Amino acid sequence: MYRYDEFDATFVRQRVAQFREQVARRLEGGLSEDEFKPLRLMNGLYLQLHAYMLRVAIPYGTLSSRQMHKLADISVKYDKGYGHFTTRQNIQFNWPELKDVPDLLDELADVEMHAIQTSGNCIRNVTADHFAGVAVGEVEDPRPVAELIRQWSSLHPEFTFLPRKFKIAVIGTREDRAVMKSHDIGLRIVRNDGGDTGYEVHVGGGLGRTPMVSRLIRAFLPRPDLLNYLEAIIRVYNLIGRRDNKYKARIKILLHETGKQEVTRLVEKEFDQLKKQNDAVSPAEYERIAAYFQDPAYEDTDFNLDAFDEKRKQHPQFNLWLNSSLSEHRQRGYSIVTVSLKPIGGIPGDASAEQMHGVATCAEKFSLSEIRVSHEQNLVLPFVKKQDLFELWQGLKKLDLATPNVGLASDIIACPGMDYCALATARSIPIAQDISNRFADLERQHDVGELKIKISGCINACGHHHVANIGILGLEKKGVEFYQITMGGEAGENTAIGTVIGRGFSGTEVIDAVETLVDTYVELRQENETFASTYSRLGVTPFKEALYATA
Amino acid sequence: MQILTANRLVDGDVVFLTGNYDWSIEINDASIARDQTEACRLEDIGTKADKSAHVVGCYLVDVVIVEGRIEATHYREIMRTKGPTVRGDLGKQANVYGSGGLRSGQSPLAAQNHHEVQQEFAHVSL
């Protein structure tokens, strides 16, 4: 894992000291809220419905056990004993008091963490494939590049006041587990015919009120050119991106209104200039960072398949958990384990202090003290020996973290919605909980198979509903919450934006509606067809008929 | 009828302007504007209070009186006076219902079933 150097550590501590002074001045009345708000947002501190909320960056979703223990301790000392893992691989604390936040940030700095640039119109925390470094078929671990971008973009003086927030995601495989095409810039690491490593550069993706899939503007960008090229893109955006209307200020709108061809021309022109005046990414600097992400010393394991199969037979729940929680590891004898933060009827992405400590301890014992956060609001243990799986499952079960539902109907993405969020127009968590309870029968979920249900409590789409098989958007109509359903969305390599299928539903009706859609799929599916493939074969009509048919 | 609400600067808690020009965390302490003139007066106080170091983001909220108690009419504001509907153990409702336990480290999984809380929201149809 990346470790702070002296510069990083000093920079973060200085920032905490500055914020401590700013908070003191605000509490004494020396700063008005108008003056203070941009300062607190730069440090990740929002004021939500019931309290302040602190969003802590988890760079590219990678955490050490030590950091996870610290997050758990912080949740008890400064919050209410839990944290919420988000679709941006971050963690949010929902109840910190303003006066305590500087102390909280100092404790985060003790474990090389901070909340800088988790808010505001700047380059946000860079996200990456949560299977980085262990995924099969990976050209290269995306995290060194993400870390390089993090260092370059942290407090970048030119990009502190962009027209809007700016999000970058990096992946290193054909498969896209990081919703790369829904980011302002998405990078995919590729290798060209000459064997050189470089990047596909996708620009202008985003969800929100105007969802768009990004466009490829460079099929191969050589590694040394990366930062100059990113600088060129963001400079063009910074200069000509709209600032008159916040809803039209993202780079996706610039691309849409100005056209891909023209934006690309401007970027390439700027890039040519920048190349002449700025250094390229030196191989030495890249290697310095990459050294922190090298493969661990994998062990030859004495995995006994017969004994393992026997355990599977003896413990059907273990078998079910294996079927949904395991992903193929590129090292023989190892597995990637996804830890579901979606207990049946629970709050998606929430983890208690006890659970955070528990996962940290499991990682110490079974995953080389490393944990990942996925954008689907689950945790990942990336280095689990197959021979340890049974013991790990037992440990997770005690923590109520072994629900065998990863990728299934109750593995729902949900934003905090109106239960916490000041921007929300409706609640999303109770809808997720009710759907989860409706599909509480895990055998049924396994029979239904892969299904992505995603819920947002407002048009800003933090719950990714546009790119769901079944997307739910919570709105308000005449003083009452109501919910729109979209279908046909997809978040992977073939990212697609779903479309609204018809009139909306009340909070109660929408649960029945989701079940009707699932039942319709089960009735119509052909052998081995997933929900998504049945939908793409048949289109929306049979689903619409089932939902809206008049009795 | 309207009351003036804001979030308290020091901890973000939801507060209401009282008849004594003070701020209370309890909605029933709120000073009620029963006509436009009164509402404008509250709004003026809010504009001034926004410049203070006590509260943030003052605005007026529609209320009704039910059995002698002040209740917000919009579901967003009802939630602000209670807490998250999915965590009955947190927010104002926790103190009202006496379950307390702030900073208790209680697992969210052990939280009160949100349906129980939601019964209070029955009129907003979920």
- Report the residue of B9, B14, B73 to disrupt the A interface, i.e. the one with the largest count of A CBs within 10 Å: B9
User: Are the Cβ atoms of A50 and B80 closer than 8 angstroms?
Assistant: yes
Average pLDDT of chain B to the nearest whole number: 82
On the CB side of A65, CA atoms within 13 Å amount to: 17
Which tokens go with A440? 């509480």
User: What does the alpha-carbon distance between residue A172 and residue A178 come to, in Å, rounded to a whole number?
Assistant: 10
User: Are the Cβ atoms of A51 and B105 closer than 8 angstroms?
Assistant: no
Q: How many angstroms away from the CA of A344 is the closest CA of chain B?
A: 10
Parse chain A into domains and list their residue ranges: 6-110, 135-293, 305-398, 413-548
Whose CA is closest to A454, among A532, A359, A537? A532
Q: What is the pLDDT of residue B96?
A: 57
Q: Does A401 touch chain B (CB under 8 A)?
A: no
Buried b (16+ CB within 10 A) or exposed e, B35-58: eeeebeebeeebeebbeebebbbb
Residues recorded for chain B: 126
From chain B, pick out residues whose CB is under 8 angstroms from the CB of A429. 84, 86, 114
Instruction: Classify the C-alpha dihedral A440-A441-A442-A444 as positive or negative.
Output: negative
* DSSP 8-class letter at A496: B
Instruction: Classify the C-alpha dihedral A62-A66-A67-A69 as positive or negative.
Output: positive
Q: What is the pLDDT of residue A56?
A: 98
Q: What is the pLDDT of residue A301?
A: 81
Confidence class for position A549, pLDDT limits 50, 70, 90: confident
Q: How buried is A73 (Cβ within 10 angstroms: 0-12 exposed, 13-18 middle, 19+ buried)?
A: middle
Q: What is the pLDDT of residue A302?
A: 79
Q: Does A480 touch chain B (CB under 8 A)?
A: yes
Q: Does A474 touch chain B (CB under 8 A)?
A: no
pLDDT average, residue stretch A120-137:
96
Q: How many angstroms away from the CA of A225 is the closest CA of chain B?
A: 45
Q: How many angstroms away from the CA of A58 is the closest CA of chain B?
A: 22
User: What does the alpha-carbon distance between residue B66 and residue A10 come to, in Å, rounded to a whole number?
Assistant: 57
Homologous superfamily (CATH) for A135-293: Sulfite Reductase Hemoprotein, domain 1 (3.30.413.10)
Residue in chain B nearest A32 by alpha carbon = B51
Say which residue, A279 or A47, is predicted with more confidence. Answer: A47
From chain B, pick out residues whose CB is under 8 angstroms from the CB of A76. 103, 105
Average pLDDT of chain A to the nearest whole number: 96
SS3 A415: coil
pLDDT average, residue stretch A196-211:
97
Q: Is pLDDT of A303 > 90?
A: no
Secondary structure element (H or E) that encloses residue A312, with its range? helix A305-314
Which of A54-63, A94-103, B18-27, B108-117 shows the lowest mean pLDDT across its residues?
B108-117
* DSSP 8-class letter at A306: H
CATH 3.30.413.10 at A413-548, yes or no: yes
Q: Is pLDDT of B102 > 90?
A: no
* DSSP 8-class letter at A477: E
Residues 6+ apart with CB under 8 A from A336: A131, A134, A135, A326, A327, A328, A329, A380, A381, A382, A384
User: What does the alpha-carbon distance between residue A324 and residue A333 come to, in Å, rounded to a whole number?
Assistant: 18
Q: What is the pLDDT of residue A304?
A: 87
Instruction: Classify the C-alpha dihedral A137-A139-A144-A149 as positive or negative.
Output: negative
Of the candidates B7, B53, B105, which has its C-beta nearest A353's C-beta? Answer: B105
Q: How many angstroms away from the CA of B126 is the closest CA of chain A?
A: 5
Task: Using alpha carbons, list the distances in angstroms from residue B50 to A342, A406, A423, B20, B56.
Answer: 40, 46, 20, 17, 6
CATH architecture of A305-398: Alpha-Beta Complex (3.90)
- Report the residue of A52, A76, A427, A475 to disrupt the B interface, i.e. the one with the largest count of B CBs within 10 Å: A427
Q: Does A93 touch chain B (CB under 8 A)?
A: no
Q: How buried is A302 (Cβ within 10 angstroms: 0-12 exposed, 13-18 middle, 19+ buried)?
A: exposed
Taking residue A365's Cβ as centre, other Cβ atoms within 10 Å add up to 16
Q: What is the pLDDT of residue A134?
A: 98
CATH 3.30.559.10 at A6-110, yes or no: no
From chain B, pick out residues whose CB is under 8 angstroms from the CB of A479. 73-75, 124
Residue in chain A nearest B112 by alpha carbon = A346
pLDDT average, residue stretch A370-394:
97
Confidence class for position A523, pLDDT limits 50, 70, 90: very high
User: Are the Cβ atoms of B51 and A343 closer than 8 angstroms?
Assistant: no
As a dihedral over the C-alpha atoms of residue A171, residue A156, residue A93, residue A36, rounded to 10 degrees, the angle is -160
Confidence class for position B119, pLDDT limits 50, 70, 90: very low
Whose CA is closest to A463, among A412, A414, A514? A414
Say which residue, A514 or B104, is predicted with more confidence. Answer: A514
User: Are the Cβ atoms of A352 and B126 closer than 8 angstroms?
Assistant: no
User: Are the Cβ atoms of A98 and B12 closer than 8 angstroms?
Assistant: yes
Parse chain B into domains and list their residue ranges: 2-72, 83-124
Q: Is pLDDT of B39 > 80?
A: yes
Which tokens go with A540? 């929306």
Q: Does A475 touch chain B (CB under 8 A)?
A: no
What tens digit of pLDDT does each residue of A24-60 get? Answer: 999 999 999 999 999 999 999 999 999 999 999 999 9
What tens digit of pLDDT does each residue of A411-443 get? Answer: 999 999 999 999 999 999 999 999 999 999 999
Write down the ipTM of this complex: 0.92
pLDDT average, residue stretch B86-90:
96
Q: Is pLDDT of B126 > 70?
A: no
Q: How many angstroms away from the CA of B119 is the closest CA of chain A?
A: 13
User: Are the Cβ atoms of A480 and B76 closer than 8 angstroms?
Assistant: no
What tens digit of pLDDT does each residue of A318-339 get? Answer: 999 999 999 999 999 999 999 9
Domains A135-293 and A305-398 equal at CATH topology level: no
Confidence class for position B103, pLDDT limits 50, 70, 90: very low
Q: What is the pLDDT of residue A550?
A: 63
Task: Using alpha carbons, list the distances in angstroms from residue A116 to A12, A420, A432.
Answer: 9, 21, 30
